Structure 1
Amino acid sequence: MHRIGVLTAFHSQAYIEKAVSEIENIEFIFLPYERPSQISELYQKYEYKVDGFLLSGIYTQSVLSQELQHVSVPSVYLDVSEGDFYQELFNIARTNGLNVSRTIIDFLTIENNYMGLKQILTKDERPYTYSNEFTDYLHEDVYERLIEFHVSLWEKGLVDLSITRMSNVVDELKSRGIHTLFLFPSEASIQDSIRTLIHQIQELKLLNNQTVVGHLSGKQDQTNQIRIEYIKQFEQKYGYSFLIHNKYPELEIITTYGELKQMTSDFTSCSLSIFLSEQLQEQMHVGWGTGKSLLQARLHAETASRQEQGSYVLTESDLIGPMQGMPTTVNRDFPAGDQLMNMSEQSGLTILQLQKIQAALKRVGSDVISSEELAFYLGVTIRSANRILKKLEEANLAEVSLKRQERLRGRPKKIYKIKV
């Protein structure tokens, strides 16, 4: 059974509880927050107690990204799709009438492309928005700022409806007599996000069990038997489990990817080489290799061990090291920084998003990918993946290559050829 931590704004919890009430074989641990400062605290408290995190929105995700250097546990955030958004607007227009220019929609920003409203409405027809930049929301007093924004426009008689994604401001707005609509992802969207998260968790577990080989060598004429004794001391002291092969003058260590990540603090510092260097009074280096087979892992380990100094990890895509503090990652076959910056400006996607897309293509082993595959590798919903692909297509960085129809049933799927 998977354990999922649900990191959510306090007033959003009921919506998620309803959507997950009938999902079996998953234990949901609800972690509600009332203030933005509690988000990273809750994450760090439960980081090693859950298999993954379901985040109630992009705001929760953004606060974590801003405050933590590394988010190691699989996580996805709930997103309001354009379909959900326009369906809600249609329902309002049908029942009460709707003058969009007299509404506040406080979550429209450049990052979500204003939910497409800029393409279909003139400037005079558009709703009031809080800010164009999502970074303006990343403040501890964001709730107070949003409430003040809504109240000021209502007091001036400029609006008839406030629409918000921030559930923690809803009660206060309503208590002031403000007609408020809280917009939250549909149950189908929430369940879709959970499926994406489960795929991500399963993929990580497979990766953590992948075989890793370490190729260890020293600078002095020390017998391997002495080195092996100290490696066993390291195992016992820190709770690791290795297979050790004496291939004099080198040693081969076999472990798992999960143990390697832990032992190297996510590839920043090799605690084994440090321990052995201190105990043996000689400079020890370890070349670590991962791969799809034991042979490939061994070849990568030997290549990593031939680096000039320090300990390195060679994966299928990266050479990481030397592991002496913060890592340096050498990406192979990826465009240079200036090229990525130009692509970012063209598409409106961040450099980090583009790098993740490159990594996804590397995993697929092709420059052709579907929205479902991209969603899986990026850890986002299929709707979000479709929006990303649409932005790439509009920037001439992707094109529809072909349409695939499985067993000639259902709607054909678009397949995109990516030029990133």
Structure 2
Amino acid sequence: MNFKLAVIGHASSVEEIEEIVKHKFTNMDVFKIECNDDEDVEHAVAELKKIINQCNGILYTRKEPYKLLSSRIEHNVTVRYADIDTSTFIHSLLRASFHFGADITRVSVDTLDYASIIRAYHSLGIPTESVSPQIVPIDTNSSHFVQRAQEEHIKNVQSGLSDVCTTNIRQVSEYLTEKNIPCVLIAPSAETYIYEIRRILLSHKLRKLNENNIACVSISVSPRDNFYVFHHTVLQEVLDLNKIAETIAIFAQKIDGALITLSNMEYILMCNSSNLEITTENFARLDILTSVYTNTAHVLSIGIGYGDTAKIAKANAVVGMHQAKMEGGNRAYVVYSPDDMFGPIEPNETNNRKPNIFDSQLEQIAETSGLSVNTVFKIDCLVKQKNKRNFTSIELAKEIGVSVRTANRIIVKLEQCGYIVEVGRHVISERGRPTRVVKVVF
């Protein structure tokens, strides 16, 4: 009986994966579902509903379609997505340099975060102070996010902030190319697709062999000791907790587990033990610990419990979670029975990497402009809270709690470094000069 794999994503990527399956795998049928942009999501969901009960596994061509569809339909089979990393970004920089002769220190880039981009430049021997990447945020929960990404990339190039665009979204790449905007697609390699398909096959086989072997993951979220030093707004705390909830939800999908949200600080995951062991490489890689520690002001305390029944597995998981929490969190314990506990599991990279309580990009902006991190942080929170980037100096002064004169000085400093640009003039009264309207571009 053939293995049935659903492949979901942009048409060209789906076709590429189908060709890979034909040449690299036997006894495998591919169900193709196209999702070229956010307008195709509902159609893709409808198509997936028709075939999901016939599928043995699902592969998404990118993280974006995975997030869009997994929030709309429950997946009852093993799911993976092909991701990009710093190596694929470096590859795109080399292509940009060769094909366009572009200044690769000034790129407009989506999907990757600032810290990953800076690590990529460092691996090429390019120091932080020599680069000025412009990050285009991708929010798959927002309607028309593809169109917004296209507009942001174009503005970055036309304003002179960027010399070339790199994107993980194929439709964005095609659109920018049509507009004669220098653009390079950041795409997974064929080897990445092959690796993910093999992971799906292995997970499916082990799942069949160990259908009754239950594992439970108990997760507790706690603020770090220095939490209140850095969180001056309720908004930033909410953003942190939302980021953590998304990280946990993605982890639950990776282990093919059922996620139970007890509160925004407590989570339970029930899953097959084999899927958990494969995803974590037998608990050698608990990336969820590292991700939360380095990108938020919180830590996770994780207990992983085994048992013949769900009740026993959960009880053991809670024991492990409490043990991790008593030791300050940022660690995990595996509990096979009350007398058999393994741990603590605390990835080395967690201890060695500096936590990004303030986003690394905000720290760089503060250093370059000569402003305090707190001031840059307030402006960043304002942009996210209001969901807009255009302000007058009067509006900015009111929102961040400073005088108009101080707001004007802040604008000048950020404008000199290219982090704010003038986009128009606004007439407030019949007399006097029009007030400048500026746009925050970080």
CA distance in 2, matches of 1:61, 1:340: 36
Matched, 1:128 2:134: yes
- Structure 2 residue aligned with 1:77: 81
Paired residue type of 2:350:
L
- Structure 2 residue aligned with 1:316: 306
CA distance in 1, matches of 2:326, 2:170: 36
TM-score by length of 1: 0.51
CA distance in 2, matches of 1:339, 1:19: 46
CA distance in 2, matches of 1:393, 1:98: 37
Paired residue type of 1:106:
D
- Structure 2 residue aligned with 1:25: 27
What's the % identity of the aligned pairs? 16
Q: Return the offset for 1:395.
A: 5.3
- TM-superposition CA deviations, 1:59-100 (whole Å, max 9, x none): 2232244345x5321011101243333233234435654422
Q: How does 1:395-410 map to 2 (within 5 A)?
A: none
Paired residue type of 1:90:
L
Which of the residues 191, 194, 198 maps onto 1:195? 198
What SS class does the counterpart of residue 18 from structure 2 fall into? helix
Matched, 1:159 2:162: yes
Q: Is the 8 A contact 1:317 1:332 kept in 2?
A: no
Q: Is the 8 A contact 2:317 2:334 kept in 1?
A: no
CA distance in 1, matches of 2:100, 2:335: 47
Which of the residues 163, 169, 186 maps onto 1:183? 186
Q: Is the 8 A contact 1:82 1:115 kept in 2?
A: no
Q: Return the offset for 1:159.
A: 2.6
Structure 1 gap segments, 5+ residues each? 213-265, 269-289, 293-314, 323-327, 345-353, 370-387, 397-420
Q: Is the 8 A contact 2:5 2:31 kept in 1?
A: yes
- Structure 1 residue aligned with 2:52: 47
- Structure 1 residue aligned with 2:16: 15
- TM-superposition CA deviations, 1:77-129 (whole Å, max 9, x none): 1012433332332344356544223321112226x833724755425513211
Q: Is the 8 A contact 2:82 2:193 kept in 1?
A: yes
What SS class does the counterpart of residue 112 from structure 2 fall into? coil
Q: Larger Cα Rg: Structure 1 or Structure 2? A: 1
Distance 1:55 1:393, change over 3 A: farther
Q: Return the offset for 1:393.
A: 5.5
Matched, 1:150 2:153: yes
Matched, 1:108 2:112: yes
Distance 1:72 1:389, change over 3 A: farther
CA distance in 1, matches of 2:195, 2:259: 32
RMSD: 4.4
Paired residue type of 1:21:
K
Q: How does 1:262-301 map to 2 (within 5 A)?
A: none
Paired residue type of 2:29:
E
Distance 1:57 1:391, change over 3 A: farther
Distance 1:93 1:211, change over 3 A: closer
CA distance in 1, matches of 2:168, 2:154: 16
Q: Is the 8 A contact 1:319 1:330 kept in 2?
A: no
Distance 1:180 1:27, change over 3 A: same
Distance 1:103 1:64, change over 3 A: same
Q: Is the 8 A contact 2:108 2:157 kept in 1?
A: no
- Structure 1 residue aligned with 2:397: none
CA distance in 1, matches of 2:273, 2:89: 44
- TM-superposition CA deviations, 1:110-162 (whole Å, max 9, x none): 6x83372475542551321113xx6x343231111111111222332333321
Paired residue type of 1:207:
N
Q: Is the 8 A contact 2:5 2:28 kept in 1?
A: yes
Distance 1:108 1:267, change over 3 A: closer
Paired residue type of 2:158:
E
CA distance in 1, matches of 2:85, 2:326: 27
Q: Is the 8 A contact 1:318 1:329 kept in 2?
A: no
Matched, 1:394 2:352: yes
Distance 1:73 1:342, change over 3 A: farther
- Structure 1 residue aligned with 2:425: none
Distance 1:267 1:62, change over 3 A: closer
What SS class does the counterpart of residue 6 from structure 1 fall into? strand
Paired residue type of 1:339:
K
CA distance in 2, matches of 1:359, 1:31: 41
- Structure 2 residue aligned with 1:63: 68
- TM-superposition CA deviations, 1:309-353 (whole Å, max 9, x none): xxxxxx93486469xxxxx88724422499399756xxxxxxxxx
Q: How many residues align?
A: 260
Q: Is the 8 A contact 1:267 1:320 kept in 2?
A: no
Distance 1:334 1:211, change over 3 A: closer
Which of the residues 150, 168, 172 maps onto 1:169? 172
TM-score by length of 2: 0.49
- Structure 2 residue aligned with 1:295: none
CA distance in 2, matches of 1:177, 1:291: 51
